[in-house]
Structure 1
Amino acid sequence: MSLEQGTKENPWKLKTPPQTSEYEMYKDVKDGKEIIVCTVGKTVLHYEFRCLADLHNMLKAHGDWMELGSADEQKPAKEGTVEAWGRSPDNPVGGWYGLKKGFRGRFGMYIPPLMEELGLAEVEHNPRNNRMKAK
């Protein structure tokens, strides 16, 4: 991974955990807050940048594999998954890491591959029911 990567001009080019879809992410600042911009086709999602460190810390404390459990914002997240944690009132931000109303879900789909790219986690790449753990 190069230090120049992760900018709007040179985004991280990633694949979803099942390796079926490509997308891009980069770090930006919006309203004075560091965010991750995630572009999937024509859809643009925003996540709080601090979710990377927060998720890494939670996974280290968890100590084992955790199911990703990706779900759209409108659908409930399966309990005990990365997705459920990414929207839980018990996480460090007290709710959603996703910042765009209507597009706050899919945390368990798009954040884990970036964690893997950054060397913070291992992620499975099965057709379904993938898991991750902290490195």
Structure 2
Amino acid sequence: MEEGTKNNPWKLKTPPLTSEYEMYLDVKEGKEVIVCVVGKTTLLYDFRCLNDLHQMLKSNGDWIELGSADEQKPAKEGTVEAWGRSESNPIGGWYGLKKGLRGRFGMYIPPLMERLGLAEVTHDSKGNKMKAK
């Protein structure tokens, strides 16, 4: 059975390897999305973030801090989280699609990219980083 479906989601761990969550691909309102299930909370991310983030990491060429933050908190400049909500990214704003839960891009997307072979991610207790593979 193909991995990354609702019936066979990717089982992932946050970068510090402290929490488990699941992700799978789906279509919502005609848009390809990544569904992220963390406990009883479901977040949605625009599917284009995988390719867009990979391209940004490749052009950067070095490690970039993840900098995860909730939507209501500012993201640290120069981090993956800040890029995932920046008006200067390819979609011109948030890759998170569920109002109120659009943050945590830097927490949940990097491990998926690592699983898909698109990136390397560090797994320290704090200050994790990623770079393109």
Q: Provide the TM-score with structure 2 as the length reference.
A: 0.99
What is the aligned partner in structure 2 of residue 8 from structure 1? 6
Quote how far apart the aligned CAs of 1:86 are.
Answer: 0.0
- Output the CA distance in 1 between the equivalents of 2:18 and 2:47: 24
SS in 2 for 1:26: strand
Cα deviation per residue 1:16-75 (whole Å; 9 max; x = unaligned)?
Answer: 000000000000000110000000000000000010000000000000000000000000
What is the aligned partner in structure 1 of residue 132 from structure 2? 134
What is the aligned partner in structure 2 of residue 58 from structure 1? 56
What is the aligned partner in structure 2 of residue 81 from structure 1? 79
Identity %: 80
What is the aligned partner in structure 2 of residue 36 from structure 1? 34
- Output the CA distance in 2 between the equivalents of 1:15 and 1:39: 12
Superposition CA RMSD, Å: 0.6
Of the three residues 64, 68, 71, the one matched with 1:70 is 68
How many residues in Structure 1 have an aligned counterpart in Structure 2? 133
Cα deviation per residue 1:83-122 (whole Å; 9 max; x = unaligned)?
Answer: 0000000000000000000000000000000000000000
The answer for unaligned runs of 5 or more in structure 2 is none
Of the three residues 91, 94, 99, the one matched with 2:92 is 94
Q: Provide the TM-score with structure 1 as the length reference.
A: 0.98
The answer for unaligned runs of 5 or more in structure 1 is none
- Output the CA distance in 2 between the equivalents of 1:127 and 1:41: 21
- Output the CA distance in 2 between the equivalents of 1:113 and 1:4: 18
